[in-house]
Amino acid sequence: MIGLVLPCLLGLVLLFGTALIVAIRARNLQYWLWGYLTRRKAPRVQGTKHILFCFVDHFEPNWGRVDMDRQRHRVDRWCKEYREMASRHRDADGRPPQHGFFYPEEEYVEEHLEKIAALCADGYGEIEIHLHHDDDTPENFVATIERFNTLLNERHGALPRDPVTGQLKFAFIHGNWCLANSRPDGRWCGINNELVLLRELGCYADFTLPSAPSDTQTRTSNSIYYAADNPGKPKGHDTGVPMRVGGKPSGDLLIIQGVLGLNWKNRRFGIIPRIENSDIRKGCPPTRDRVDQWVDTGIHVEGRPEWIFIKIHTHGTQERDMDTLLGAPVDAMHSYLEQRYNDGSDYVLHYVTAREMYNIAKAAEAGMTGNPNAYRDFELPRPAHAQATQAAPVATAV
């Protein structure tokens, strides 16, 4: 009997192991799961936690290559319904939710940007840069970004200038997730030294990640870190040096990631945890358990764990998702954030733009403490289209 049972058990173990490997590779978990499982947990915080909430959008009016009437409808719906939804909410600083419109260079239409800039001028967000490209060259990439930077600034009042050098500064999201040629087959980029080029062009931080379940996902997850190009090789941002209090910038570009992990409260067939990748869509609405996981993950600048950075993302102009993004699910998400994470004692909520999130991270690096609302404009000033906000209280450095 034992001679029969043992081979059966070994067969079951082998079958389970094979199924596990297949499941891991089907979702490209091999790129990040080990690093996620072995990462250091966020330190426990005594006292108030400040929640810095940033929503970035791969905002593509021409998604699906549609006609101009449909593009206009998408933009008009966003400008009307986002304003209506966001105006019902406020953070601890009296500000409504801030939306990051990462607009693709290759889809530029002046009238679309005029409408979005007007929404931003009323205090609902800021415009940043998105780009889809394939088999590109460094020379063409530089020319493209320089041209688009100038266009956004001169025609639409977007993008801040470095107060020291006068250079236009921007945040970046790479189309198809392929930052620095990170897709294994080399598609949808073509430039290994993209991090260096972005830095030289004025990019202050990349907001592309997480990209899971894409095979462009980095080994590093749930981190704010400096990455350096790997000369002659792709995906230099696979790892990097964590940003920390008292540290100095290093490498080529700052990477600000959103939450990536396993959601054990939302399982397939009641068994298999779903991937939490900070994406908001109809099929993955921002439920309370997801919000709790974003907070509990505790992404922070090392040495300042009481400032928790949450960056979520979406593709906002796809009709199948717009009822979620402009309707009850996101409305309820903000209500939950404001009720659960804005009591003024255990938690204080701050809605921030990508630029403000970067500024607050730099303030933490410089040793600043207290209320991060004081540091929304710490290094980079507001762009011309941004509404002036009330002066925040001054905090102290250590």
Q: What's the pLDDT tens digit per position in 253-300?
A: 999 999 999 988 877 766 778 999 999 999 999 999 999 999 999 999
E strands present in 167-256:
170-174, 203-206, 224-227, 241-242, 253-256
Q: Is 308 within a domain?
A: yes
Sign of CA dihedral 285, 117, 179, 74: positive
Give the pLDDT of residue 268. 72
Of 10-14, 178-182, 250-254, 359-363, give the lowest mean pLDDT range.
10-14
Q: Is 392 within a domain?
A: no
Q: Using a CB cutoff of 8 Å and minimum separation of 24, what contacts does 161-167 make? A: 161/381, 162/202, 162/380, 163/380, 163/381, 167/202
Give the pLDDT of residue 211. 97
The boundaries of the domain holding residue 131 are 49-375
Give the pLDDT of residue 264. 85
Q: Is 63 within a domain?
A: yes
Rounded distance, CA 51 to CA 141, Å?
35
Of 345-354, 368-377, 384-393, give the lowest mean pLDDT range.
384-393
Rounded distance, CA 221 to CA 257, Å?
7
Q: Is 384 within a domain?
A: no
Q: Are 134 and 188 in contact (CB under 8 A)?
A: yes
Give the pLDDT of residue 9. 65
Q: Is 10 within a domain?
A: no
Give the pLDDT mean for 216-232. Answer: 96
Residue 336, token pair as written in the block: 């939950």
Q: What is the tens place of the pLDDT at every residue in 157-215?
A: 999 999 999 999 999 999 999 999 999 999 999 999 999 999 999 999 999 999 999 99
Q: Is 86 within a domain?
A: yes
Give the pLDDT of residue 40. 85
Give the pLDDT of residue 45. 93
DSSP H helices in 341-384: 354-365
Q: Is 335 within a domain?
A: yes
Q: Work out whether strand 99-104 and strand 272-276 pair parallel, antiparallel, or are unpaired.
A: unpaired
Q: Which residue has the higher pLDDT, 118 or 26?
A: 118
Q: Is 349 within a domain?
A: yes
Q: What is the tens place of the pLDDT at every residue in 66-102?
A: 999 999 999 999 999 999 999 999 999 999 999 999 9
Q: What is the CATH number of the domain that holds 343?
A: 3.20.20
Give the pLDDT of residue 396. 43
Give the pLDDT mean for 22-50. Answer: 85
Give the pLDDT mean for 108-119. Answer: 98
For the chain, give the mean pLDDT. Answer: 92
Task: Give the number of other Cβ atoms within 10 Å of residue 306's Cβ.
Answer: 17
Give the pLDDT mean for 358-375. Answer: 98
Q: Based on the structure, what is the number of domains in the chain?
A: 1
* pLDDT score of 388 more than 70: no
DSSP H helices in 38-101: 68-77, 83-86
Burial of 348 (0-12, 13-18, 19+ CB in 10 A): buried
